[in-house]
Structure 1
């Protein structure tokens, strides 16, 4: 195999919580060197929760959430609210190809760390900023977290049961924004390779959510209809849902699209009399029209079997069916293990941790997890000394002044 696809690309990551850091981690999987810039003055929120059963939690370096969101990164602690800290940040950027940030619009500029400031020290720099609502428009300064993005973007309104409230979810939104952020940076890096030009990228997290509901938006523009919540229903497929199985809180997801798949499902169920009612279940439309009664029949059957047993039986006959896994089942499933999605990494405080690596495999350019997320300030001397050429005495003086902090 060859070298990693993004080997030689360096990224200054000023982002926090999940969306921005996840974008940096995705690119680090591909070989980019990512420098996480944070400080004790403004702690990344994901450092504040541990989920660990331990008496040694120090509030900074025992968070598996932070570790997973910042794999492979170098870590420096720098108070960018100070004049000296801001100058050091610009020196780091001068040695980078990309900047990632996700503060509210205008915050980086107030610190003297906006795109125009960075262009002065690195004319071809690429900078991406994601915020709740983008850097233009009447809502640009509004606060927002993942549930807000889903609500304003229209996704929450469509998610949930027909007779229930909208489901704002949590976390999925940040992963979506982070993935699209990484995508835009790859496009900008390609443009830079062809032209030598950097650029600024403005991402609205809410618009990232709206991009998931294209068919629903088209339905309104074409037909004047606003789709409502429909639980696990599909617009044309039935059965289409998650059904209870034998065991405590065990479920299986089943989706049938064609008459041939329905016939295979009926055969797997042993050709029960109710399923042979052609008037109710003889074609896709009749099955959909009678989907509530059909769901009842389905669950009366599925609850007699384990979810793994049903998966094997139905998949053998060509029916789309998979267990609805909990965390333990995902980590221990033989297919997941064979794919090596979850890999061990040694963390200096947490010990060996199982983390999620890249969900893709390259034939020629390896991608993967190579180190744990950094303790705060873990690489101060490596970055300020090795990359910027500062003397140890100068670094220690800045530590005493809490500029490097």
Structure 2
């Protein structure tokens, strides 16, 4: 669907690589550009590999930089090019790529691109129609612009952590660096919007995308609530501020749970029937949403007494069969084997040169008239150097060899 769109992806870690992967999955030609000075070639011990948990079978192998599960997930369907942008030759080659590309994607701190001499005015002079999407943690402007940022410290700043936790306890973080994927989705939408604008007007854009704000804008009801009544939303754990019962309940088996979310009187009556306790319907303690909220502790105990008799999957199915919103809490192993996800063909198998045949999460959307999407494993370091430089930029083999001799490109980390 995005065939003909070329993206130069300078990103690292999670937010940017995920945005680039979505574009690549949808057919854009995404060239992931890596500086080898940023890639560690240090040997990784077995103890360290087991602690990191990112290598197949916890084996880092002889080239661990090519075996990281996160990189191999986020960089599938991309071309891999190494290029040292802090060298005159590397910067010049990058500008030549910019001249024939549509999008540049980066998630460095605001200082990095200007330090390379590759900020937006420079890129725009090379290609007036170029779209530069910058994804610094706190944005390109403001007093925090140069703060060090990862999803784990952006999440508290975004306000999300203040909402997470149980009554009377401190704030919590999600454990999933939530601003990263939120920023990736916003970046994808912003880039596609800019591409659409360019197709209509020929104009490029510089997109200033704050990862922190990407998370904050998704908790707008909490911000709006304070603006309306001046009250800080309390932490309520797994419960809902209005509806009850809502929560996560223990089931049969070790660390097995089911989530239940009742939001109407009909769903409440259905739950009572499914759990074979129709007397709850007329119990004054549970007779309406207000009473149920006021007696949630008692109600939760009754519900959990029922869920403990069932596996989490059986509890979900029994409740769903009567129209009660319920979902089993699945761990990673269960997700890979889930009958629904596999029936929809959600997982993709890819055979990586260093990691072998593995399952990866696919696209969560299905198109009624799908084109042929790319299906290519993530590149090893510098795997497509020759293809990009020779086939796309037109360099000779002798010129490419000289770049390798000068360490402008290569297929091995620079610190090794």
Mapped pair 1:14 → 2:19: no
Q: Could you say which residue in structure 2 is the equivalent of 1:186?
A: 192
Structure 1 residue 55: deviation in Å? 5.7
Output the CA distance in 2 between the equivalents of 1:164 and 1:384. 56
Provide the alpha-carbon RMSD of the alignment: 1.6
Would you say 1:206 and 2:189 are equivalent positions?
no
Aligned residues of 2:252 and 2:307 also touching (Cα < 8 A): yes
Q: Structure 1 residue 175 and structure 2 residue 181: aligned?
A: yes
Match 1:291 to one of 279, 296, 311? 296
| Residues 225-234 or 382-391, more deviating | 225-234
How big is each residue's C-alpha offset from its partner over 1:146-171, in whole Å with a ceiling of 9 and x where there is no partner? 01111111011111222333222333
Residue 396 of structure 2 corresponds to residue 391 of structure 1: yes
* Distance in 1, Cα, partners of 2:268 & 2:241: 16
Which position in structure 1 is the counterpart of 2:34? 38
TM-score, L = length of structure 2? 0.93
1:247 to 250, 253, 256: 253
Does the 8 Å CA contact 1:36/1:74 hold for their aligned counterparts?
yes
SS in 1 for 2:38: coil
Q: Trace 1:189-338 onto structure 2 (pairs within 5 A).
A: 189-271=195-277, 273=279, 275-338=280-343
Structure 2 distance, partners of 1:104, 1:58, is: 28
Map of 2:93 onto structure 1 = 88
Contact 2:269/2:281 (<8 A) preserved:
no
8 Å contact 2:71–2:378 — kept in the other structure? yes
* Matched position secondary structure for 1:131: coil
| 1:30–1:366 contact (8 Å) kept in structure 2 | no
Equivalent-residue separation in structure 2 for 1:68 and 1:367 (angstroms): 20
Distance in 1 between residues matched to 2:398 and 2:108, nearest whole Å: 32
Distance change in 2, residues 1:244/1:104 (3 Å): same
In terms of mean alpha carbon deviation, does 209-218 or 53-62 score higher? 53-62
Q: Distance in 2 between matches of 1:210 and 1:342?
A: 30
The answer (yes or no) to whether the contact 2:60–2:67 under 8 Å persists in 1 is: no
Correspondence 1:132-151 to 2 at 5 A: 132-151=137-156
Q: Describe the shift of the 1:234–1:369 C-alpha distance in structure 2 as closer, same or farther (beyond 3 A).
A: farther
Q: Is the 8 A contact 2:24 2:78 kept in 1?
A: yes
Give the deviation of 1:131 after TM superposition.
0.7
| 1:51 equivalent in alignment to 2:55 | yes
Q: Secondary structure at the match of 2:232?
A: coil
CA contact (8 A) 1:357 1:369 kept: no
Q: Does the residue aligned with 1:60 lie in a helix, a strand or coil? A: helix
Greater shift after overlay, 285-294 or 19-28?
285-294
Secondary structure at the aligned position of 1:211 is classed as helix
- Note the C-alpha offset of 1:325: 0.3
Structure 2 stretches lacking a partner, 5+ long: 45-51, 411-416
CA distance in 1, matches of 2:370, 2:159: 38
Q: Which whole-Å CA distance do the structure 2 matches of 1:77 and 1:162 have between them?
A: 50
Please report how far the alpha carbon of residue 110 of structure 1 lies from its aligned counterpart in structure 2 after TM superposition.
1.2
Take 1:44 and 1:142, find their aligned partners in 2: how far apart are those partners?
Answer: 24
Task: Give how far 1:59 is off.
Answer: 2.4
Tell me, in whole angstroms, the C-alpha distance in 1 between the residues paired with 2:61 and 2:213.
41
Q: CA 1:68/1:367 → structure 2, altered by over 3 Å: closer, same or farther?
A: farther
